Structures are given as structure tokens and as C-alpha cells.
Chains A and B, each alone.
Chain A
């Protein structure tokens, strides 16, 4: 199993550009989440999904969209990038029978 994979590893955007961060898992997990990690702030939940077709907002959802058309994939879209979205983004997944989350390797995003 590859576990949770994320692409790209690094990305630089200009203010106003849009892009999609990809996340995939091959463990058939129902729950998937997106977090951003900023120094001194820990990990903050952006959006999460409890299954295909179902998503909900987390603590810091503004400026981000998600969709969950399949169990495996949970892409995060930045609609119009802002410097405040410079961060490291982690995707995570877990099964409904186990509360342990598995994290991807992260995407380091810089918005100039």
C-alpha cells in the first residue's frame, strides 16, 4: 500500500492564481481531511469528508474548496491564492472502525 499520497510536494503561486492540491489514499478509508500547518499554530482543519459525496468545513475553510467524488481522492482547491495561504498542507485519512489518522507527506505552498 502507498498509504496517503500528495502531489505536488512543493508549489509556488502568484497571488490570484488557482490550483488544486491532490490527495489520494489506497486504504479504502471513509474519512479524509485537509489540514494546514503554520509555525506556532499547529495543524488546523480546513475541510473534511466522511465519505464520497459528503464534505464539511473545518476551522479555517475560507478560500478553499473540496469535493469527494470517489473514496480514494480528496482534492483541495485554492480558488484565488493569497499570501496568507502560504503554508504546509497535509492530507489525512482514517477508517470508520479505527480512529487513527494516517497523514500524507505534505505539500509546501508559497504564495507570492
Chain B
């Protein structure tokens, strides 16, 4: 079965520090990749997505992610975090087949101190 691994359970950073959250998936075929964010008390929102093309994708609020097919990875990055980035971040994958649902990683909680 497909699975998604997020390496960091809880990351604590100071404002202006750089962020990289790891995500690896297990599926041998073509996949579509997502990062979702959940701010405290809110529902999930799409941060960015990768379907095909340029493996470096840019999302909202200065986030970007790089798809490395050979490593089955889709790591999330931000050069300089802000206090408002405090949230839970979820990596998700869906195989490129009709009728399949989204599989999520366990999530990474990011706490940014000002």
C-alpha cells in the first residue's frame, strides 16, 4: 500500500530561520504530490502541489517544494519563517490513477517563536 513519511514530528524555529520539512512516499508509479497546512483551529488549506513539469514548485506565502523522483521525496522549504507560519504541515500523495484518494503523512508541527 502507498504510504507517506514525514521525518520531523515537531520543529521549533526562531523567526527568520530557514525551514525544510522532509517528505518521502512509497509508490513506484506516477504520483501527484501536495503540501497542506492547518493553522491552529482551522481546516486544511492547500499550500502547493506538484503534478508534472518543473520539479521545483512555488506555493503561497513564500513556500516552495522540490520533487526528487529518484529519492521519492517532496521536501517543503521556506527561506525565512515568520511567527504566522506556526501550524501543522501535511504532505500528501495520490497515485496518478482515476478513483484514488489522497494519502497523508502524519504531519509536522512547526512552532515559530518571535
Contacts and interface: CB of A to CB of B under 8 A. Distances in A.
B is a partner of A: yes
A31 B94 contact: no
Given A90-B43, A100-B46, A100-B49, A45 B101 contact: yes
Given A40-B9, A48-B101, A99 B32 contact: yes
B106 interface: yes
A50 B102 contact: no
B51 interface: yes
Contacts of A99: 32, 49, 51, 94
On chain B, which size bracket covers the interface? 20 to 34
Given A99-B32, A103-B43, A104-B43, A45 B103 contact: yes
A84 B103 CA distance: 21
Interface of A: 31, 33, 35, 40-45, 48, 50, 56, 58, 90, 92, 96, 99-101, 103-106
Interface of B: 6, 9, 32, 34, 36, 42-46, 49, 51, 90, 94, 98-99, 101-107
